[in-house]
Chain A
C-alpha cells in the first residue's frame, strides 16, 4: 500500500492554476482540510431531511400518495447513504494506511490464544483486505508463526465486518443495528477462530504450506505523513464509492418502489420470527452465494421492509459476505477439505446462533 501513495515523480512547480491550487490544498494544510471537511460533511448531512422535503413539496405530485412517499424515501435515502458511505470509507481509508497486512502480521506473531483471537478479529476490520489476497495472507501468517486459530479469526472478520456493510446498515437501519452487526461479527470471528485453534488442526494444512520456510514477521517502518493518509482516504473513496454507488442507487430505488406496492407482511410468513427453520435456511442459501455487501443490501432492505425478521436477514447477509464458494475454492489450494469443512461449519453455526439470538431478543 505504502508505495502506491508516495509520488516520487514530483510534479514540476510552475505557477499553479486556481484548479491546481485547489487540489493541492489537502496536501499543503492537511489539518485545516480535515477540520473543514468534517464541518462541511455535518452541515450537508443535517440539511438533507429538510432539503428532500422541500424538493418533493415543489414537485407537482399530490402529497401523501404512494408516489410522493416513494419519491421522498428515494430522495432522502440516496444522498444520506452515499454521504455516510463516503465519510466512512474516507475515514477507513485513512485508518487502513496505519495497518498494512505486514504490520498486522507483526502485531499478531507470537500472540497466544484468546488475546490473539480478539486482536486478530479487531485488526480484521482495519486492515485493507481483498478476498483475492486471502491465500497469500493466510500463508504469510502461518509462515510467520501466527497460530492457525488466530489466522482464522482474521480471515472471518476481514470480509464480514467491512465499511460498506456498516455504512449501509447505519444509513438504513440506524446505529443500533449497525452496532449489533459489528459486535456480533467480531464475536463470531473471535469464537470460531478460538474453537478452530483448540482443535489443533495444523496437520490439515496442505503439505507444501506446512513445509514452507519460516519467515520473520518484521514490518518496515511507516513513513507516511498526514497528507499521505488523506490521499489514501481519497484513493479508497474513488475505488470503493466509485464502484458501489450504482448498486446503492438501484437498491434504494427498488426499496422505494416496493415501499407502497408489495403487502407489508408478504415475507413475514416465510422469513418471520415464528418460522424456526428460516434461520438455517437463510444460512444454507447464503453460504454458497457470493456478493459484496453493497450488492446484498438492496435484498436485505426489501426483505426487512416486508416483514422478514431481523435476525434471519442478518444471518443471511453474514453468510453471503463471510463465506463464499469462490473463496473456498481458492482456500482449497492451502487447506485440506476437512479443514475447510470444519471452518465453514463453525462459522455457519455461529451465524445461525446469532440469527436465533436476534430473533429472540428483538
Chain B
C-alpha cells in the first residue's frame, strides 16, 4: 500500500491535490494511505519551498502546483 502525504497549510490548491489523488486511486483501484500534513513545522521538515507538496513513501515527488491526473497515476504503480 502506498503511503501518500500532501503537504500544505490548507490552501485551495492543497485540497484539490488531495481530492485528485483520492479520485485517481479509486479509479485505478489502488489502496492508498492518504494523509494531510498541515502543521507548518512538519511541512518545513521536508524542506520544500512551495506548496502543495506530495510525498510518496517518504520521498518528495512533486512541489508547487496541483499535479495532473496522469502524473498522479505514475505514483500509484
A residues bordering B, Cβ < 8 Å? 1, 3-4, 7-9, 100-102, 105, 128-130, 132-133, 135-137, 139-140, 143, 208, 212, 215, 235, 330, 333-334
Contacts and interface: CB of A to CB of B under 8 A. Distances in A.
A46 to B, nearest CB: 34
A137 B49 contact: yes
B20 to A, nearest CB: 12
Interface of B: 8-14, 40-41, 43-44, 47-51, 61-68, 70-71, 73-74
25 contacts: A1-B63, A3-B62, A3-B63, A7-B68, A8-B71, A8-B74, A100-B64, A105-B49, A128-B50, A128-B64, A130-B11, A130-B13, A132-B8, A132-B11, A132-B12, A132-B13, A132-B51, A133-B49, A133-B50, A136-B40, A136-B49, A140-B49, A143-B47, A208-B41, A333-B40
Given A132-B14, A135-B40, A4 B50 contact: no
Residue among A7, A102, A130, A330 with the highest chain B CB neighbour number at 10 A: A130
A139 B46 CA distance: 12
A208 B14 CA distance: 24
A133 B51 contact: yes
Contact of B64 (A1, A143, A333): A1
Contacts of B70: 7, 9
B9 A135 contact: yes
B11 to A, nearest CB: 3
Given A132-B13, A333-B40, A9 B50 contact: no
B51 to A, nearest CB: 5
Contact of B68 (A4, A105, A133, A143): A4
Contacts of A143: 47
A330 B51 CA distance: 14
Given A1-B64, A135-B40, A101 B50 contact: yes
Contact of B9 (A3, A8, A208, A330): A330
A7 B62 CA distance: 13
Contact of A7 (B47, B65, B66, B71): B71
A97 to B, nearest CB: 11
Given A130-B11, A208-B41, A3 B71 contact: yes
Contacts of A334: 40
A129 B65 CA distance: 10
A215 B64 CA distance: 19
A128 B13 CA distance: 14
B40 A133 contact: no
B41 A136 contact: no
A212 B42 CA distance: 12
A334 B43 CA distance: 13
